Amino acid sequence: MRLGKPTHLGGGLFLLVLVTLGLILPTYWVYLLSTVAITAIIARSIGLVTHQAGIITLCQMSFAALGGWAVSYLAIAWPTAPFPLLVLIGGTVTAPVGLLIGIATTRVRGVELAVVTVGFATALDLVLRQGSFPGVGEGTPVIPSAPFDDPRWFFALAWALLIVLQIGIRALSRSVHGLGWTAVRVSERAAAALGVRVGGTKTSAFALGALFAGIAGGLLAGQYGLLTTAVFTPLTSMVHLVTAVLCGASVFGGAVLAGVFVVFIPELLRRIGLPLDAANALLALGAFDVLRRGGGGLVEKLNDQLQERAFRNTRVTCQLLPVSDERLQVGAMQPDGAALQGETVKHQTLQAACLHVDNLTVAFGDHRVLEAVNLTVEHEEVHALIGPNGAGKSTLVDAVTGFLPSYEGRVSLDGKPIERFGPRERARLGIRRTFQHVHAIDAITVENYLKLAAGAAGSERIPAVREFLDLPDGGVPIRLMDVGSRRILEIAGALASKPEILLLDEPAAGLGEAESRALAERVRQIPAVFGCAVLLIEHDMGFVRVASTRVTILDDGRLLTSGAVSEVLDDPRVIAAYLGQETAS
């Protein structure tokens, strides 16, 4: 049984155990187990926000407080309403608060965002302390409508909600939008380059996390009857965070374990006569140990190990075989000729160059990184951009893909200027890039990465790309792949999105001699097979000679020369001026 991905058998067994426990245990234990489910919902919400989307949240209990407040209020204002409905309303009114915080902090990231959440938690805590929860002053507790006033029915409700929410979040996590959460956690830059809406993705994680926590808070209102602010302090949010970190709450088993720890450790301490607040310290120390070891919480790690075992005998690398001469023929390599042929033809009727960079100047402070650079990449060509490190090649790629705050000059795609677009829009227009540092998201599978990268283009082209680059099985988790294969996977993802132009930043770094050669041959075929132009940055001249048709040399931010590969690389003046005489033999 895999804890994070319950099989049918495992899931059935789990349900059976739950129902049995709910029926046979004494009421007190049933009550505790309900609290476990509620806490697990909160832990899962932290799993979503912190583990999946990479935002440290220190305010999940504040969201729970809002849900609890809403349910307490509604229970008085609308006594006849069914309790589950109240809980759902509680969650629904909390979600917009998460949404608002998310929108306000679209451009804040990392630890700074954690500060915002702790600010919210303290602010709400103070506001709540000024007036108590509805019903507390008058002493009218929330009594869940029948049959949920019976602890066993309440137990059923709490666990049912947890399971339904888990199923929902699991499905969402595999959608293009949900995969975006993981992408944003790894690198916002890389996510935007994949066409992911960074702000929207973070905001949705916040909003969904708030929804979950709000529902949990509503359940707590029914569980406790009368709520106190002590349940929802910033400190309790922190304790829930460290527990989620300890257990690995991005998977179902981890969330449940977090619930078990939060409920039963104090229970245990009480029985052996130790102070209850030692539980917080224990959970915190446990979390520290998990952080120290790295690689995720207890259940996440278990899950990963099972996954590793499952793929022990599967190929987890891209095996690029050298292309034999016959296969170099375009027709033979064309994976699904008919579908792609149309796109190729379309380009041939266009007049304008695929990518045109006109008089591009970029300065960081007084330092001019690029000076009046002109570059034209035609449709259907692989154009190499070479030059020593620091010549401005990557800066040029950043400018074209929209990652620079400002530049002088013009960049146009198919003759249309793209200055007003940001990186995400440019990616959607068909300018795709890979990075010098591999950003392939190690927490997801090859299949899901391709799905995420393809985005709006759908999965139509994925089989062709997989065959073209010899990718491993779609179920293989990316973290099992080596750096070189991840690099190739990034190229595959970019191709799957049906780009107009692909900018490859040192694709051969980290590849062995033979693989590098084979990749060069594949890159050469990209225009013919996928109908997309390529701008290639590469230091390995062997690679450049095989892959590209034209080459531009940048030196110290200026264009040195440009022309056909053989002419430029064999030009004695170029060799003398740039390549260096002694090594040119």
Residues of this chain, 357-416, that bind other proteins according to CB under 8 A: 365, 367, 388-390, 394, 398, 403, 405
Smallest gap from Cβ 574 to other proteins, in A, equals: 11
Q: Which sign does the torsion angle of CA 426, 431, 432, 437 carry?
A: negative
Bond into 322 cis (ω within 30): no
In the region spanning residues 257 to 276, those forming contacts with other proteins, defined by CB under 8 A, are: 275
Smallest gap from Cβ 156 to other proteins, in A, equals: 33
Is the Cβ of residue 17 or residue 514 nearer to other proteins in the bound state? 514
CA–CA dist 198, 513 (Å, integer) = 37
Smallest gap from Cβ 582 to other proteins, in A, equals: 7
Is the Cβ of residue 184 or residue 453 nearer to other proteins in the bound state? 184
Tell whether residue 474 is a contact of other proteins (CB under 8 A): no
Is the Cβ of residue 30 or residue 53 nearer to other proteins in the bound state? 53
Q: In the sheet where 550-555 sits, what is the strand order?
A: 431-433, 501-505, 533-537, 382-386, 550-555, 558-564
Residue of 12, 137, 337, 542 that binds other proteins (CB under 8 A) = 542
Tell whether residue 348 is a contact of other proteins (CB under 8 A): no
Residue of 152, 174, 539, 558 that binds other proteins (CB under 8 A) = 539
Smallest gap from Cβ 569 to other proteins, in A, equals: 9
3-state secondary structure of 159: helix
Quote the tokens at residue 548.
């590209």
In the region spanning residues 508 to 537, those forming contacts with other proteins, defined by CB under 8 A, are: 508-513, 516
Smallest gap from Cβ 65 to other proteins, in A, equals: 14
Is the Cβ of residue 21 or residue 231 nearer to other proteins in the bound state? 231
Nearest alpha carbon to residue 391 among 359, 406, 369:
369
Angle 139-142-143 (CA atoms, 0-180°, nearest 5)?
115
Tell whether residue 322 is a contact of other proteins (CB under 8 A): no
Tell whether residue 245 is a contact of other proteins (CB under 8 A): yes
Q: Which sign does the torsion angle of CA 296, 297, 299, 305 carry?
A: positive
- Continuous H helices in 174-296: 176-186, 188-193, 198-224, 234-247, 252-271, 278-293
Smallest gap from Cβ 578 to other proteins, in A, equals: 7
Nearest alpha carbon to residue 235 among 357, 58, 22, 430:
58
Is the Cβ of residue 102 or residue 477 nearer to other proteins in the bound state? 102
Window contacting other proteins (CB under 8 A); options: 91-99, 110-118, 297-305, 443-451: 110-118
Tell whether residue 107 is a contact of other proteins (CB under 8 A): yes
3-state secondary structure of 178: helix
Smallest gap from Cβ 411 to other proteins, in A, equals: 17
Smallest gap from Cβ 257 to other proteins, in A, equals: 18
Is the Cβ of residue 15 or residue 278 nearer to other proteins in the bound state? 278
Smallest gap from Cβ 224 to other proteins, in A, equals: 21
Tell whether residue 239 is a contact of other proteins (CB under 8 A): yes
- Continuous H helices in 402-482: 423-429, 446-454, 462-468
CA–CA dist 359, 327 (Å, integer) = 40
Window contacting other proteins (CB under 8 A); options: 29-37, 116-124, 219-227, 339-347: 116-124
CA–CA dist 46, 466 (Å, integer) = 35
In the region spanning residues 23 to 82, those forming contacts with other proteins, defined by CB under 8 A, are: 54, 56, 58
CA–CA dist 3, 247 (Å, integer) = 12
Pair 520, 509: CB distance under 8 Å: no
